[in-house]
Structure 1
Amino acid sequence: MFDSTTKSGNKPNFIDLFAGAGGLSEGFVRAGCEPIAHVEADTAAAYTLRTREAYHILSGRGDLSGYFAYLSGQINRKELYSLAFGSRSSSVINAEIGAKALSGIFDRLDFQIGNRKLDLIVGGPPCQAYSLVGRARSELKMVGDERNYLFVYYAEFLKRYRPRFFIFENVVGLLTARESDGTRYFDMMWALFKNLGYTVEYQVIAADEHGIPQKRKRIILVGRLGKKDGFFPELDKTSTDFLVKDAIGDLPPLRAGKGGALVTSLEKPPSRWLAESGLLSADRSTTWHEARPHNPRDLKIFKKVVNEWNTRGERLSYNDLPETLKTHKNRSSFLDRFKVVAADLPASHTVVAHIAKDGNYYIHPDNAQNRSLTPREAARLQTFPDDFYFESTSGKPSRTSAFKQIGNAVPVLLAEKISKKLVENWS
C-alpha cells in the first residue's frame, strides 16, 4: 500500500454513492484512502458493505479472528457487527438516493463528515437506463425512465460538499443514450457539473488492458473543482502475461449443485498472477465457492459448448445444437446464449448481473466439472479479495444475491489503479 496523503498530510477521504457491493470503494481503500460513508439502496448490498466495514475495523485492530469465525459459521452477523462496531453505528446508509430521501441522507452524512473537508465523491448510478442491452429490451428505449436523471442527485452531493475531486463511472452506453428530443444525457450531466464549478475529463477504460482478467469497458468521468485541466488519472497499460485459468484454476473442482457459501480451504498452489495480486487471504481460504444446480438438458449443452471450444477453439451457436436440446423460439438473435469462460484466454467476457438469473453465459471451462461459474469464480474475475463476503437481506446465504452484487460491481484492482493515479495528481 502506498502513502496516499492530501496536502495536509492526511489520507484522502471519500463517500461512495450508489455504492453497490463496494468494488469501487474497496479499490480506493486498498490504495490508502479513507471511506467516510457509503450510500446504497439495495439492502443486501448494504449488508455486504457493513460486513466489509467490520472486516476493515477488525483488521485495523490486528485481530481478524472474529471475522473468520463469522465466515465459518461460528457466530452470526449480529454478533460480528457487535464485535466490530460496539455501541456505534455503521457508516453505511441504506437509502435510495432521490428526492424523498435526500434530506435524511444529508443529515447522516453531515454527522459522519463532521468538521472534516470532504476530498472525494465516487460512484455511479445504476446503469440499466444507459446500457445498450437495457435500451434494447425496453419498449420505450428507456426514454423517460427516471433512472436517466439520477446524475442530478449525484450533483446535489457535489453542490453540498464541494469535494476536490469526484469520480463518476458508468457503462459506455452513456455516450449514446439520449432524451426524446435527441439530447445526450452525457451532455446534460457535463453541463451540470461544469455549472457547479468542476472541470470534467473522461475516458473509456478497458479493464483487460490494465491487468484485469475480464473484458469490461466502462466510462470514467473525473471532475476537479476549479479550471485546472490535465488531471485525469492516466493508467499504465499492463502486458498480458496471465490467462483466465490463472485467476480461477486454484479453486477446488465442483460438480453442479455442490459447494457452499461458507469457508472453503484452498490447497492447490495459486498462480503467479494470483500470488502477486493481493487477492488471496492469509490462511488460503475463501467463501462462496458454490455451484448452482442445472437441469440435465443444460448440462448436455454445456458439454457440447465446452468441447467445441477446448477442441476447436470455436464458439457454439445455439442453432448448431441438436433439435432435442433447443427450447428457445428465437433463432435469429442471442445465438451465443450458451458461452464458455475460456481458460486459455487472457480475459473472460464481461461479468454482468444477469449471471444471477442463470449461468448459461458463464460455463466453466472444465468439462469434468460440467457446470457454470460459482460466485467466487465470478468474484475472482472481478478481482474481489478472497475474504470478501457477499451478504443477503436475511443473513442466510443467497447465491442469487451474491451473483447480482458481483455482476454490478467495478473490478477492485481497476479501482485501486485509478485511485493511485488520481492521488499522484492530487496537488
Structure 2
Amino acid sequence: MNFIDLFSGAGGLSEGFITAGFNPIAHVEIDSHACNTLETRLVYHKLKEEKKLGHYYDYLKGKNNRNSFIKNFGEKHLTESVLNIGIGGKNNDYIFNKIDELAGNNEIDLIIGGPPCQAYSLVGRARDSEGMKNDPRNFLYKEYAKFLKNYRPKAFVFENVLGLETADGGRYLKNMQKYFRSIGYNLDYKIQHSEDFGVLQKRRRVILIGWRKDINFEYPIFDKIVHEFKVRDILTDLKNLRPGEQKNITNYKASTTKYLNQFELRNGVDFVTQHIARPHNDRDLEIYKIAIKKWQKEERLKYPDLPKELKTHKNEKSFLDRYKVVDANGFSHTMVAHIAKDGHHYIYPDSKQVRSLSVREAARIQSFSDDFFFEGGRSAAFRQIGNAVPPLMAKEIASKMSQLIK
C-alpha cells in the first residue's frame, strides 16, 4: 500500500509505516537537514531489502562521503521522492506534479503527517500575547486537506500535540473535523500515550484518523504493551561521556538489554553512532550536580532552590523546572525540539556523568533504532529527534491501519 508523508520531519512516522510494510511514494518537508535524513534512511531501506547493508555501515563509519553514498546507492526515484519544499500556495502545484510523476499509475492509499505544532502547543500559546490566534500555521490543516481532495486516499493519519484539543477553546479541532467531513471523510480522534506502545517516554499526542465515507472503517483499537522496562534499560550499554565529548562512532561498553532486543533498537550492529554530548559551562554543571543530587532523593530542582550565585534572573514564578533530570527508574518526560537549544531539561541521571543527554540517548528515548542516522550535525539532530513521532508508536498505528484498510 502506498502513502504520502506530509510535514515529514526526520521520518519517525514514516519509519513506522515502512517497517509495517507500506510503500512511501513521497515525503514533503521544508527542513533541509531532515530531508537529508529522509534520503539517507530511504537508501538504508533499499540496501536492507537487497541484503547489502554493508555499504550503509561503511557510510556511517565515514568510509565514503554522503554525496558518493547517495550517488552510488540511492536510485533516482528515491532521492527525488523527498521534496524539500514548504506546503501551500504556488508550491502545491509543483508538489502535486512531482507526486503524480512519482506515483505513475499507482493509487495513493494513505496520507500521513501532522502540520507544525507550535500554533497549537500549550507552551506556544502561553508565550504569545495573542495565544497564537493569528498564527498562519493554525490553518495548515486546510493545506493538508488539499492533498486529500487531490488523491482521495482510503484513509489518513493526522498527528499533533495535546494542545490541539484545547486551542481556542476547542474550536480549532471542531472546525478541523467539520472541514474534513465536508470533503468526504469520516474521522475520529483519541489521545494516545506513547508508553502504551513500548516507548520509554511520557508523551501524549492527538492521533486523528480519517477514512473515506464510502469505506467501512472505524478508529483502531491499539493493544497496550504491558512491560516493566525503564529508561535505565536504554542507557547502561552506552559508553560514559564527558560534557562536549563526541563519539561519532564507538563500540558498546556492555551487552544488550532485554528492552533493546525486544524492540530491536540495537538491530544487531556492533557499533553505535552519534553518541555526542554537548558542552556545558561551569555554572550549568554546578546546577546539574544539584539537580542530580536532589533527584536521587526523588526531589525535583526548582529555580528558587538554587544558591544565589547560580541564579541569573529574578523571575522565580515561571518555568521553575527548567533544569530537569531524566527519570532512569521510570519513563522520560516528553522529548521536545527545544533540546536543540540547550540540554537543561534533559540532564543525564548519574552523578558520575554530569551532562545532558547525548544525541543517541535522546534518539533511543524516542525509540529510534541505533542504525538510524540524523544528518546535519548535533543541533539539527536534536531538533529532528524532538519533533519526531516515536517509530515504535508509528509502527503499531501503521499495522492496525493496514489490517483495517485490507
TM-score range, shorter chain: over 0.9
Residues 218 and 183 of structure 1: is their aligned pair in 2 closer, same or farther, counting only changes over 3 Å? closer
2:127 to 134, 137, 142: 137
Q: 1:248 aligns with which of 225, 229, 235?
A: 235
- Given residue 313 of structure 1, which amino acid in structure 2 is its aligned partner? E
Inter-partner Cα distance in structure 2 for 1:122 and 1:162? 13
TM alignment of 1:85-96, pairs within 5 A: 85-86=74-75, 88=77, 90=79, 91-96=81-86
Counterpart in the other structure of 2:367? 383
Q: 1:292 corresponds to which letter in structure 2?
A: R
**Residue 405 of structure 1 pairs with residue 384 of structure 2:** yes
- 2:393: which partner in 1? 414
Alignment of 1:69-88 (within 5 A): 69-86=58-75, 88=77
Structure 1 position 283, deviation (Å): 2.1
Provide closer, same or farther for how the CA distance between residues 271 and 136 of structure 1 changes in structure 2, counting only shifts above 3 A. same
Opposite residue 321 of structure 1, the aligned amino acid is L
Residues 124-166 of structure 1: CA deviation (Å, up to 9, x unaligned): 0000000010111112211111111100010000000000010
Q: How does 1:52-63 map to 2 (within 5 A)?
A: 52-63=41-52
Give the C-alpha shift of residue 85 in structure 1.
2.2
Task: Tell me the SS of whatever aligns to 1:168.
Answer: strand
Q: CA deviation at 1:282?
A: 2.3
- Kindly indicate whether residue 152 of structure 2 is the aligned counterpart of residue 167 of structure 1: no
**Cα offsets for 1:154-195 (capped at 9, x unmatched):** 0000000000010000001111112xxx67111121111111
Determine if the alignment matches structure 1 residue 350 to structure 2 residue 339: no
Contact 1:360 1:372 in 2 (8 A): yes
Residue 308 (structure 1) aligned with residue 294 (structure 2): yes
Residue equivalent to 2:281: 295
1:80: how far off?
Answer: 0.8
Distance in 1 (alpha carbons) for counterparts of 2:255 and 2:2 = 37
Cα deviation, 1:255-312, whole Å, max 9, x if unaligned, reads 111123x3222141121011111121322322111000100011011111111111x1
1:185 to 168, 172, 178: 172
Question: In the superposition, relative to structure 1, how do residues 315 and 229 fare at CA in structure 2: closer, same or farther (>3 Å)?
Answer: farther
Alpha-carbon contact 2:231-2:327 (below 8 Å) kept: yes
Q: Which residue of structure 2 lines up, in the alignment, with residue 114 of structure 1?
A: 104
Which residue among 295, 313, 317 is the counterpart of 2:302? 317
- After TM superposition, the score normalised by the length of structure 1 is 0.92
Quote the residue 2:354 is aligned against.
Answer: 370
Maintained 8 Å contact 2:340/2:380? yes
* Partner residue of 1:146 out of 130, 136, 140: 136
Higher deviation after alignment, 227-236 or 110-119? 227-236
Separation in 1, partners of 2:347, 2:232: 13
Q: 2:322 aligns with which of 337, 343, 349?
A: 337
User: What is the rounded CA distance, in whole Å, between the counterparts of 2:27 and 2:293 in structure 1?
Assistant: 44
CA–CA distance in 2 between the matches of 1:239 and 1:32?
24
1:103 counterpart residue number: 93
- In the alignment, structure 2 segments of 5+ residues that lack a partner are none
Aligned to 1:280: 266
- Determine the C-alpha separation between the residues in 2 that align with 1:89 and 1:224: 28
**Which consecutive residues of structure 1, in runs of 5 or more, have no partner in the other structure?**
1-11, 393-397
Aligned position for 2:343: 359
Partner of 1:157: 147
Q: Deviations over 1:316-342 (max 9, x none)?
A: 111111111111321111111100001
Q: Say what the alpha-carbon RMSD is for the aligned residues.
A: 1.4
Q: Report the count of equivalent residues.
A: 405
Pairing of 1:6-45 with structure 2 (within 5 A): 12-45=1-34
Further displaced range: 126-135 or 77-86: 77-86
Task: Check the 8 A contact 2:11/2:388 in 1, yes or no.
Answer: yes
Do residues 226 (structure 1) and 213 (structure 2) align?
A: yes
The 3-state SS of whatever aligns with 2:356 is: coil
Structure 2: which amino acid aligns with 1:67?
Answer: Y
The amino acid across from 1:63 in the alignment is K
Shift of 1:88: 4.8
Query: SS of the counterpart of 2:241?
Result: coil
Q: Which position in structure 2 is the counterpart of 1:7?
A: none
Provide the secondary structure at the position in 1 that maps to 2:137: helix
State how far apart, in whole Å, the 2-side matches of 1:100 and 1:400 are: 31
Q: Which segment drifts farther, 71-80 or 263-272?
A: 263-272
Conserved? CA contact 1:199–1:229, under 8 Å: no
Q: Which amino acid aligns with 2:165?
A: L
- Give 1:391's aligned amino acid: E
Aligned-residue identity in percent: 49
> CA offset at residue 100 of structure 1?
2.3
Asked if the contact 1:231/1:422 (under 8 Å) is kept, the reply is no
Once the two structures are TM-superposed, the CA of residue 36 in structure 1 deviates from its matched residue by 1.1
Whole-Å separation in 2 of the counterparts to 1:222 and 1:67: 35
- Give the C-alpha shift of residue 229 in structure 1: 6.3
Q: Which has the higher helix share?
A: 2
- Residue 3 of structure 1 is matched in structure 2 by none
Contact persistence 2:116–2:137 (CA under 8 A): yes
